[in-house]
Amino acid sequence: MGIVFGLTIMKVKTPKFRVRSATFETINVTSPSFHMKMYAEIGVKNPNFGPYKFHNTTVNFYYGETLFGSANIPKSKAGLKTTKKFNVTVDLIAPTSLASNSQFANEVSSGLLPLRSQSNLSGKVELMLIMKKKKSIQMNCTMNVNIKSQQLQDLNCN
Ligand SMILES: *[C@@H]1O[C@H](CO)[C@@H](O)[C@H](O)[C@H]1NC(C)=O
Ligand SMILES: *[C@@H]1O[C@H](CO)[C@@H](O)[C@H](O)[C@H]1NC(C)=O
Ligand SMILES: *[C@@H]1O[C@H](CO)[C@@H](O)[C@H](O)[C@H]1NC(C)=O
Ligand SMILES: *[C@@H]1O[C@H](CO)[C@@H](O)[C@H](O)[C@H]1NC(C)=O
Ligand SMILES: *[C@@H]1O[C@H](CO)[C@@H](O)[C@H](O)[C@H]1NC(C)=O
């Protein structure tokens, strides 16, 4: 009994790092300008029986391969079996290099802008106060910004 329980709680599971939700404020989406403020909640979900301590990191938001904005996540920890949540504000701005991109113009006028978020998080899971296991995880989410309703839709993280 004791051994089985011990093995179960000693097994290190991979935490999850993802965008949980977001709302937006429109600053200027008159083509070729695109500037929306994103108010996002980002979470680090720790499934382990001990805390996951992680370093600070940056979450980048891309349209295709083009960086639109980023958010800083401070170093912190997610307690055992909990999700540490962060509220961040991100200015999503199209660089001028997209001014002549017709697909981008079409997507803005259709009202749905596809974005993806990526980040790397490194840290350690602590078990039984003594055992420390390094765990590095990635964020990889896709989503659509509904420009008119200023809501996030089709959020998918893997
Ligand atoms: C919004 O962007 C357009 C196109 O770049 C520009 O002409 C317009 O002045 C901007 N509007 C505001 C309120 O900044
Ligand atoms: C972490 O914070 C340090 C000091 O503030 C900063 O120099 C570094 O760029 C940050 N790292 C990331 C990945 O954001
Ligand atoms: C993030 O913001 C939402 C909405 O304002 C609020 O309900 C939530 O408690 C905030 N979360 C954190 C971790 O500050
Ligand atoms: C995450 O790390 C990979 C390589 O391990 C790198 O290609 C990628 O640019 C990093 N992403 C961010 C947002 O730093
Ligand atoms: C991110 O997820 C997409 C599928 O949703 C996949 O094609 C892509 O390879 C993933 N990228 C990374 C860096 O894991």
Chain segment 16-52, per-residue pLDDT in tens: 999 999 999 999 998 788 999 999 999 999 999 999 9
Over range 138-150, report the average pLDDT. 97
Question: Whole-model pTM?
Answer: 0.90
The sign of the dihedral angle between the CA atoms of 126, 127, 133, 139 is negative
Residue of 42, 72, 118, 139 to mutate, ligand 4, most atoms within 8 A of C-beta: 118
C-alpha of 47 from chain center: 18
Whether 101 is in the pocket of ligand 4, judged by its Cβ within 6 Å, is no
CATH architecture of 2-147: Sandwich (2.60)
Which residue's CA is the nearest one to ligand 1's atom 8? Answer: 30
Cα–Cα distance measured from residue 18 to residue 35, given in angstroms and rounded to the nearest whole number? 23
